[in-house]
Amino acid sequence: MLEVRTNTTTPPAKNGDCGIGSPASDVTSFAATSPKPAPLKIGDLVIDPPVLQAPMAGFTNYAYRQVVRELGGAGLQATEMVHARGFLEIDARTGDYPERLWGVKDEARPLAVQIWDNDPQALAAVGRRMAHELGVSVVDINFGCPVKKVTERAKSGSYLLRSPERVGELVAKVVEACAPTPVTAKIRLGCTRDRITSIEVAQAVEAAGAAALTVHGRTAQDMFTGEACWEKISDIKPHLKRIPLIGNGDIDSAEKVVQAFASWNVDGVMIARAALPKPWIFAQAKAALRGEPIPPDPSLEEQRDLMLRHYDLVVRRFGPERGTLLMRKFACCYAAGRPGARDFRKHVAHVTTPEEYFAVVRKWFPQKESTAITTD
């Protein structure tokens, strides 16, 4: 459980290098006395609180987004990334949207759809449809994905960070196609540590008419190793004249959200991995930013209900068989960092039916808090 610490207020510490650093000793008093982050504006859209749920392929589908939405606190949520040419092929073949757009048509707004490609026509065509056919709030373009299928094979995602000019061309096409819907870009610091291009790319993104920039403070070469460099994210800010800067990387608590705003020159923050085991982190961050006590993590019983709710949403869409298989990875995430998680994962990773899923969840996330997670 997260504690609300009550010792004397000290300012947050920055790391010797450029990681996000350790939070203030008393985050509630610290947040209450520090200036609140200004409202984040993406075009005409006000993102309040300025804390965003990151796109994560394979995870941030409609069911996950709905769980986050019901818990509250995320100022803007995003889909998984959608391949523009893949979208157009599926459309030509079946007339359907890709599965990654499950729920987008009818779900609550604000909502960002993320697209990727290196083909300006395809990106513009899909962006236009997202903006005008589905009426999404934001069209985000991925320039950060480091996986080979996207970089080496499709010359897209973080591959494009070596060419700020090309990034600018792609963004400009999508901006034109989506207007007046705002278009944003999500980048990493560069392709490799000795080739940081984030400032040039940021300037190209802004000049092309984008409405915001999100930066994950690692290079593509880093993948997910080491610490995200918040100093290098902050360094971009003086080079942006008009658009907000959203920092991303390694935020895993409400305290660190407060810390990010206090220590680094960013207008918004985005959370990805930590929101898989703790989809309630956004509600905690919202309270922390207001200087209110951080709500405790849900009880085990509430977490169990959340896993059943999440499962219900997945099964309604995919049916009991496929839904159960799909839910395994989400259930594994929910257990992260909890006592008995290894055993829980071992069992939940093999469930094939709703009965097996319910049995495992009820055993490891028991009714009474006092029984806690137990191992065999």
Ligand X SMILES: Cc1cc2nc3c(=O)[nH]c(=O)nc-3n(C[C@H](O)[C@H](O)[C@H](O)COP(=O)(O)O)c2cc1C
| Contact with ligand X (CB under 6 A) among 37, 73, 144, 190 | 144
| Contact with ligand X (CB under 6 A) among 68, 73, 80, 166 | 80
What is the torsional sign of CA 172, 163, 226, 238? negative
Q: Does 56 bind ligand X (CB under 6 A)?
A: yes
Q: Does 272 bind ligand X (CB under 6 A)?
A: yes
115 strand-pairing partners: 82, 141
Query: Around 111, how many Cα atoms within 13 Å sit in the side-chain half-sphere?
Result: 24
Report how far residue 82's alpha carbon sits from residue 115's, in angstroms, rounded to the nearest whole number.
Answer: 5
Phi/psi of residue 270, nearest 5 degrees? -125, 140
139 strand-pairing partners: 113, 183
Stretch that binds ligand X, among 87-95, 175-183, 245-253, 259-267 (CB under 6 A): 245-253
Q: Does 273 bind ligand X (CB under 6 A)?
A: yes
Stretch that binds ligand X, among 122-130, 137-145, 230-238, 293-301 (CB under 6 A): 137-145
CB-nearer residue toward ligand X: 57 or 373? 57
CA-to-CA dists, residue 141 to 95, 154, 175, 219, angstroms: 23, 15, 10, 17
Least Å from the CB of residue 214 to ligand X: 8
Annotation marks residue 145 as catalytic: yes
Stretch that binds ligand X, among 173-181, 272-280, 299-307, 331-339 (CB under 6 A): 272-280
Look up residue 296 and give its two tokens. Answer: 């405790």
Q: Which of residues 182-201 bind ligand X (CB under 6 A)?
A: 186
Question: Which of 234, 125, 245, 230 lies closest to 184 in space, CA to CA?
Answer: 245
Q: Which of these is catalytic: 18, 145, 191, 333?
A: 145
Residues 30-46: b if buried by 16+ CB within 10 A, e if exposed = bbeebeebeebbbbebe
Other residues' Cβ atoms within 10 Å of the Cβ of residue 349: 12
Stretch that binds ligand X, among 14-22, 233-241, 267-275, 303-311 (CB under 6 A): 267-275
CB-nearer residue toward ligand X: 87 or 365? 87
Which residues in this chain contact ligand X in the complex, by CB under 6 A? Answer: 54-59, 80-81, 114, 142, 144-145, 186, 216, 248-251, 271-274
Q: Which residues are catalytic?
A: 145
